[in-house]
Amino acid sequence: MATNTKTPGDPGADRLAGASPLQRDLARRILEKMRDEGWTVGTRVSEQDLARAFGVSRSPIRAALDLLAAQGIVAALEKRGLGLARDVASLDIGALVPSSPQETLYETMMRDRATGQIPQEISEAELMPRYGVSRGVIRKLLMRFAAEGLAQRMAGHGWRFVDSLDDDEAYRESYEFRLIVECAALRSPRFVVDREKIEPIRRAHQRILADDRVAVSGEEWFRVNAAFHETLAMCSRNRFLLQTVRHQNSLRRMREHSVFSELPRERIEQSCREHLAIIDALEAEDFDWAESLLRHHLRLAADF
């Protein structure tokens, strides 16, 4: 298998070194999406679809794809556009495109908040010496937390993180709420099974089940798991249900993704099979059975 070692003068390494934090992080997230969804060599890459998936304009997506092109991951197709040029299933994404310092700090702040090392209310001035960065960097990260519904600016000065799932009672309440909302999404009169969106979700779960690793990283599983639940909400064609599910996923990420670096293999496999059974029921248009399976799945998950 080819190594990811970068040598002086390597155009991929040179391009990566000069990339902005956003471009580098988008390149990594695009690679994760390709791997999670089981993209095969030759799959066409759509700038527009990626921009929509990551909530950015096409310009940073184009720059991120340029980074991947310099690494030989994507290449021009014979006719027009870009396509996947290498098998990404076994790539060490972290080594190929390391997280930017800003992304690493974001993850650190997420973990510190989840474990109570930073309080619910805090000022930019208090965070600056803690992490050894400028006010501008801290403010940009807090604005990202705010955009994800995890923090809000307080009147006057300071920031307040939202109530998180930092104890067992809040965790149970979250799952009670999710039972109401996510099952209601399946009962929406406008619910349509979008097979084009569901198929990549199915492949992501099948890839994890076929993987022979003893444990799956919490980050990887959270990404696939959240995509499953958000896709079901998206099929309801109700923007408010989708927003609610996304917000709950953000709260879960602060607890689950930030606290657990790895999850037991048996837990991942069980959840994967439950998700796939729900997808099967939806594609068979047996919505009552799909709802029953989803309800059972959420109740089991709440007990972990």
pTM exceeding 0.85:
no
Identity of the residue numbered 162 = V
- The verdict on 78 and 27 lying in the same domain is yes
In the DSSP assignment, the letter for residue 261 is: S
Report if residue 3 sits inside a domain: no
Cβ proximity of 293 and 186 under 8 Å: no
- The verdict on 179 and 243 lying in the same domain is yes
Give the per-residue pLDDT at 208: 87
pLDDT tens for the chain, residues 1 to 304: 344 444 445 555 667 777 788 888 899 999 989 988 888 899 999 999 999 888 889 999 999 999 999 989 999 988 788 999 988 877 888 888 888 888 889 989 988 888 888 999 999 999 999 999 999 999 999 998 998 888 999 987 899 998 777 777 888 899 999 999 999 999 999 999 999 889 989 989 998 888 776 567 777 888 899 999 999 999 999 999 999 999 888 888 877 755 565 667 888 899 999 999 999 999 999 999 999 999 999 998 887 5
Q: Is 151 helix (H, G, I), strand (E, B) or coil?
A: strand
Place of tokens 């003068």: 9
Cβ proximity of 208 and 272 under 8 Å: yes
Report if residue 155 sits inside a domain: yes
Cβ proximity of 298 and 275 under 8 Å: no
Among 196, 106, 87, residue whose Cα is nearest residue 144: 106
Give the per-residue pLDDT at 179: 95
- The verdict on 105 and 147 lying in the same domain is yes
The parent domain of residue 105 ranges over 101-161
Report if residue 212 sits inside a domain: yes
- The verdict on 297 and 172 lying in the same domain is yes
Report if residue 213 sits inside a domain: yes
CATH code at position 278: 1.20.120.530
Angle between helices 135-147 and 101-114 (to 10 degrees): 60
Report if residue 138 sits inside a domain: yes
CATH code at position 17: 1.10.10.10
Residue after which a domain boundary falls, among 47, 74, 96: 96
- The verdict on 143 and 189 lying in the same domain is no
- The verdict on 227 and 262 lying in the same domain is yes
Report if residue 5 sits inside a domain: no
Structural domain tally of the chain?
Answer: 3
CA–CA separation, 127 and 123 (whole Å): 7
User: At 45, phi and psi to the nearest 5?
Assistant: -105, 125
Give the per-residue pLDDT at 36: 83
Report if residue 2 sits inside a domain: no
Report if residue 228 sits inside a domain: yes
Question: Which tokens go with 264?
Answer: 């037991």
- The verdict on 85 and 108 lying in the same domain is no
- The verdict on 87 and 142 lying in the same domain is no
- The verdict on 35 and 135 lying in the same domain is no
